[in-house]
A and B are shown apart, each in its own frame.
Chain A
């Protein structure tokens, strides 16, 4: 860092930025949050099986979505029931 840069207020060092980004990322990946999302397809399949016992639904009528916000996660399950036709 040159003298002038020091005088006029130095920019944040990039190595520091790298470290901060990595520590967040690694903590997140180690917590298994990324791996946890692996269950979504299986969950969707089993939901279809269960719901099919009572109502006839198609695979595409069930949407499972996992959303992450700060430090909590939202599991959203959206089931569209077919219109009753008599």
Chain B
């Protein structure tokens, strides 16, 4: 059985695509045959984050319209042999994305033996965002510790619970996971930022991880390398933990407590 996981948030710029890239790579690194689909028709970016923008020939809409075979459109990832990227269309109108079309593509991915399909949702609550979550079995709600992001996440939770296929046919609800991103333990300690506990208390969704605010995310996107591959960085470790927890392992939360820099660190700088 293929599991469909949507990475969603409502608000833009909170780290959906960064998370989709890192999370799908993490699943592939753990040996699962994984596909990651960009649902942001007209504003595709997953290809850039995954570093495969120059290899895009066909896209999701081409497959839906029958202009290309799914196997022609899937781009093999440069880091993982068992990871494939399905880019969004850059030129087509959003209306080209249909529920039947998406369902057909997901069914075909299942026939191809994929273990996981990660759907990178566009921002907002319109067609693309709704279709990205329609067929989901699990959802990663990406949230920044910031008022507008928390509110929009709550809105998306309502949509998951009302508009998804699982909600429509009354089967088990989508399994929801809260991922707090761009987290700054120091600002939380100073009372300037909502803590992950606050966010979780507000949204009432089980926490799957906390990704610290980090310079490595920009470094990763500059190179078109999913952040999970930046060995030794806190972001890479945090995403690795998220994948492990998703697969049912227990991992303590890391990078959530602020450690005051010691004297030597303060004198000589460094991280």
B residues apposed to A, CB below 8 Å: 146-147, 150-151, 154-155, 158, 188, 190-195, 198, 202-203
Contact = CB atoms under 8 A, between A and B. Distances in A.
B147 A21 contact: yes
A15 B191 contact: yes
Interface of B (DSSP majority class):
helix
Contacts, number: 40
Nearest to B188: A15
Interface stretch (A23-31, A44-52, A53-61, A65-73): A23-31
Given A23-B202, A26-B202, A18 B194 contact: yes
Given A22-B202, A23-B202, A26-B202, A16 B151 contact: no
Contacts of A16: 191
Interface of A: 1, 13-16, 18-19, 21-23, 25-26, 29-30
Contacts of B195: 15
B194 A29 contact: no
21 contacts: A1-B191, A13-B190, A14-B192, A15-B194, A16-B191, A18-B146, A18-B198, A19-B198, A19-B202, A22-B147, A22-B150, A22-B151, A22-B202, A23-B202, A25-B151, A26-B150, A26-B151, A26-B154, A26-B203, A29-B151, A29-B155
Most buried by A among B155, B191, B193, B198: B191
Contacts of A19: 194, 198, 202
A6 to B, nearest CB: 12
Contacts of B192: 13-15
Nearest to A32: B158
Contact of B198 (A14, A15, A25): A15
Nearest to B155: A29
Nearest to A23: B202
B14 to A, nearest CB: 15
A4 to B, nearest CB: 15
A18 B188 CA distance: 12
A22 B143 CA distance: 14
